[in-house]
Structure formats: structure tokens, C-alpha cells
Homo-oligomer: A and B are copies of this chain.
Amino acid sequence: MKICVIGLGLLGGSFALGVRNTLDDVEIIGVDKNPEHSQKALELGIIDKIMTMEDAVPQATIAVIATPVNIIEYQLPFVLDLISPMGVVIDLGSTKGNICKAAEDHPKRARYVATHPIAGTENSGPESAFKGLFRNKTMIICDREKSDPIAYQFIKSIFKDLDMQVSYMDSVEHDKHIAYVSHLSHISSFALGATVLDMEKSEKSIFAMAGSGFSSTVRLAKSSPAMWAPIFEQNAENISEALGSYIEHLKSFKEIIDNKDMEKSTQVMNRVNDIRRVLKGIDIKS
């Protein structure tokens, strides 16, 4: 089976390495506008050959678009144009609303399955890809009623073979929820990094005191701007709402601190400790 992977970064590369392990006789054709990435992916055994999108997609059983979300939105109609009548197109983007809209009126819409793997690290590029990235993670499939049932089942079985849990969601609802449980985390981390780096200008030795708690909250600030700027742009309304609510919570916490109100801060923290229940569910998966 020929699989064409467009975008040879962390996600595209890890998908390629994953299916190499689970599918028989797979040939991975790599497409990337950055020749260094393609060359590196070839050297690392992520892909078997490099081709242009125009040459690769028509011969592929699956075309996987793993570029930044604004590029996916732009590429998806072209890839659908190119895909063979029995081929399937998927994307691995972290937003789904605009991307699904870009395929909405395409005559081959049924050949597209909208997917979002809840998996990633703060690293990017082909060197960061590894075959276990998707293991025990959740794969969200959006608007499945718009995909051909066989195409959809086929893609689902490929994810299940990667040891993923598949769940379903409306693409609009997806974008709203993911703003809270992923996109907001990234912004909180980037802003935290910015705050402390600012402080470092006057207090040089500030990071001598940073430990694992700091590291954990700021880790996502290492993430790739090329990937995240388009996510923030595409999901701006939902993120703005989530971020607005986050800022309100912080302002109210600041007021509690300014009043040195230990009773109130204890109350708030006790309530939020309920996050243990939530994290238990997530940590089982990872």
C-alpha cells in the first residue's frame, strides 16, 4: 500500500513510522516543501522516496496532510482533486472547523476523513518523529457522517492498529473544546515564558531557582511558532473566549492575593484540586 505523507515533521513523521510497523508492504512517499526535511526523513528511514504532491497523491491509497493548519486548509482541496477515486485523504491538524469547511463542497468530500490525534511533544521536525507517538492516545474523527463509510472504517482500523482510542465529534464542537484543553495550555505556557524571560533582563540569576514545577508549566513554550500561529489564527474566536475566562480567573486570584485572604485562596484551590479526577483519566492514557 502506498501512503503519501505531506509535511514531514513530528506528526507526519511519527505517523509514517507508526504505520510502517503495523501495515504490511507499505511504501511511504514523502512530500515536503523543505528539501532538507525530505532528505532528513529519507535518511532516518521515515520515508522511502521523495516526490512532488502532484506525482505522489494520485498513486496513494492514503494521503496524509500533516502541515500547519493554514496550509492544510489551502492544500486539502488540491489533494482531493489529485486523490484516486478509491484513495482516502486525512489531515492531522489541531483545528477542524475551517479545514472541514474547505472540503465541504468538494465533489470528492466523501474521500476525506477529518482527524485530529491528541498527541504531540514540544519538539518539531523529522528528527523529533518516533513510532510510539500515537500509542494509547486519543484520535478524534470529526463529521464522520460526511465521509464514505468504508473509507472511514478503513482509517479507523489504521488508528486502532496504532493502539489509539478513536472517538467522534462535530468539527465545530471540536474546535470549541480543544481551545480549552489544548490551545489555552499553550498560551498560558508561552505567556509564562515571556513573563519570566522579561524578568531575567534585570534579575540574571532567576533561573537558578527554577525546578520541575516551573519546567512542567512552561514546557509547551518550546513549541513551534510555525505550527501554532496558524492554530491561534484559525481558532481565534474560541481561544479568545477561553483566554478571556482564564484572565478573569487570574484577576480574581490576584485580588485574593492582594487581600492576603488565605481562607478564600484555600477555598478556590480546594475546588480546583478536583482536577485530580480529570488528570487520573489522562495519565492512564500516557
163-197 of chain A: CB within 8 A of chain B: 167, 169, 174, 176-178, 180-182, 184-197
Chain B residue nearest in CB terms to A259: B236
Q: Does A33 contact B (CB under 8 A)?
A: no
The answer to whether B257 touches A193, judged by C-beta atoms less than 8 angstroms apart, is no
- Complex alpha-carbon distance, A176 and B177, angstroms: 36
Chain B residue nearest in CB terms to A198: B245
What B residues does A186 contact at CB under 8 A? Answer: 213
Q: Does A86 contact B (CB under 8 A)?
A: no
Contact of A260 among B209, B228, B236, B270 (CB under 8 A): B236
Asked whether A211 and B282 contact (CB < 8 A) given A225-B270, A247-B247, A266-B226, the answer is yes
- Complex alpha-carbon distance, A50 and B118, angstroms: 49
Chain B residue nearest in CB terms to A283: B215
Q: Does A101 contact B (CB under 8 A)?
A: no
The answer to whether A181 touches B206, judged by C-beta atoms less than 8 angstroms apart, is yes
Q: Which secondary structure dominates chain A's binding surface?
A: helix
- Complex alpha-carbon distance, A216 and B214, angstroms: 10
What B residues does A276 contact at CB under 8 A? Answer: 222
Categorize the interface residue count of chain A. Answer: 35 or more
Q: Does A119 contact B (CB under 8 A)?
A: yes
What B residues does A45 contact at CB under 8 A? Answer: none
The answer to whether A265 touches B221, judged by C-beta atoms less than 8 angstroms apart, is no
What B residues does A225 contact at CB under 8 A? Answer: 265-266, 269-270, 273
Q: Does A155 contact B (CB under 8 A)?
A: no
What B residues does A260 contact at CB under 8 A? Answer: 233, 236
Q: Tell me how far the C-beta of A285 lies from the nearest C-beta in chain B, rounded to whole angstroms.
A: 8
A binding-site residues for B, Cβ under 8 Å: 70, 118-122, 137-138, 140, 167, 169, 174, 176-178, 180-182, 184-200, 203, 205-223, 225-226, 228-230, 232-233, 236, 239-240, 242-247, 249-251, 253-254, 256-258, 260, 262, 265-266, 268-276, 278-279, 281-283, 285-286
A-B contact pairs, 26 of them (CB 8 A): A118-B209, A180-B195, A180-B203, A182-B209, A185-B214, A185-B217, A188-B217, A190-B253, A191-B246, A195-B245, A196-B275, A197-B271, A199-B242, A200-B278, A218-B275, A221-B273, A222-B275, A222-B276, A222-B279, A229-B265, A232-B257, A233-B265, A240-B257, A246-B250, A247-B247, A250-B250
